[in-house]
Amino acid sequence: MTIAGWPCWPAIRALTGVLADMVTSELDSDPAQNPYLKNVLVFALTTRALAGDWLDQTQLSRLHLELFDQFSPQDTALPYSVMFNPDLFDENRDELLAAYWPEGDTRKLHQLPPDRVLFFSWLAGRDAFDDAQALTPYLDRFLPDETHAPAARALVLRYGAGLSTDQLVAWGLDALALLIPAPQTRPKPNRTGANLLDKKPYQALQAGLHRYAPALAGRRKLRVAICLSGQLRGYEAALETWRAEFLRSIEPVFFIHSWEGIGRSDAQPFRYVLPFEGARFCDAYREVALSLGYEAMQARHPSLYAALGAGNRTDAEALKALYGTPHIVLEDDKGPKFDGFTAFRVRRMPSDSSWNTPTVLPDCMRS
């Protein structure tokens, strides 16, 4: 469904028109004199598809490229969410890629710091480096500066096969030495059995045997660590898909660092997806809730909303039973530890805190 087909589209469109007038006056201001211009620009980029010709799209594109260097990671959380809704955000993505990473040309991309390179690699769905040989001179310019270390670790894990331990130590990334495949020191054996390993038909045959007739494969299943972090919404359905697709072919060991709140959407009527079955019921619910107000609906139906709230949380024992693993850490996103955190920062926190603790990965491997 396109955005014009959303149930709340007329109301959204009317409100956007009012906001567009306010935003336009801010965008016309002098960047040197307006400390809030960047924030207004982020809002305008997030809503540009809704505003349409109510905003000067040429001016918006110009400011987008002029001020992008000032965007923080938090600023990029919404305007480029193409994986959730390309109708709203693909123009923002295409503008940045045309300016910083036209197809086949990484020269300007490689002038950016590691966190930006990661961002663009996600945005484009392309590889930012061909191999470790291309990655090495790039990281030499930014490491061992600790500010760039978290993003650099991700780049090394993605493109660093063959890097020496000495090189990782020089960059301050020696904790990754256990995870990076060592350089090949011996020529590839010239034997028929070894050569078969690179043949697609042979690989397909082995994959089929492991999936549908593991006993005939004649070898023990590969033991694989699967690390889960972030919000768990949809995790039960996802696990069923994994079981059907690939878990039967391996011996999985799960490591989970997540939230007690799993991140399902609540029943606020403006949401595109509601936690109810049936399109007609959702339409009727949305109409009544918009008329009465969400707080009035909660007061009128406390049991319903209490059940919805309870279904939005999990605990370590339930996850242990589901995934068959003791390796579980759950954080309470409502606890005092996270008071004052933005929603964006809270969502990132489990993966960030694990990633930035050097002992976590080796400990997981020793388990």
Cα–Cα dist 160/153, whole Å: 9
Rounded CA separation 104/128 (Å): 10
d(CA 121, CA 179): 21
Give SS3 for 313.
Answer: strand
Contact of 193 with 166, CB cutoff 8 Å? no
Contact 258, 228 (CB under 8 A): yes
Q: Hey, what are 79's tokens?
A: 């305007």
Residue 9's SS3 state is helix
Q: What share of residues in the chain are helix, strand, coil (percent, to 5)? A: 60, 5, 35
Kindly give the confidence (pLDDT) of every residue in the chain, 367 residues in length, as a single tens digit, with 9 standing for 90 and above.
445 555 555 655 565 565 666 677 677 777 777 788 888 899 889 888 877 788 888 999 999 999 999 998 889 888 998 777 788 889 999 999 999 999 889 999 999 999 999 999 999 989 999 999 999 999 999 999 999 999 999 999 999 988 999 999 999 998 887 777 666 554 555 555 656 666 777 777 777 766 666 666 656 778 899 999 888 888 999 999 999 888 888 899 999 999 898 887 788 887 878 888 888 998 899 889 988 888 999 999 999 999 888 888 899 999 999 999 999 999 887 778 777 666 656 655 554 444 444 333 334 433 3
Token pair of 57, please? 């799209």
Q: Which two tokens stand for residue 142?
A: 């930014």
- Coil/strand/helix, residue 256: strand
Q: How many CB atoms lie within 10 A of CB 319?
A: 20
Domain boundaries, the chain: 1-100, 107-183, 219-264+311-367, 265-297
Q: Measured between alpha carbons, how far is 358 from 253 in angstroms, rounded to an integer? A: 20
Tally of CA atoms within 13 A in the half-sphere of 85 that contains its CB: 15
Tokens of 352: 């960030």
Type of residue numbered 256: I
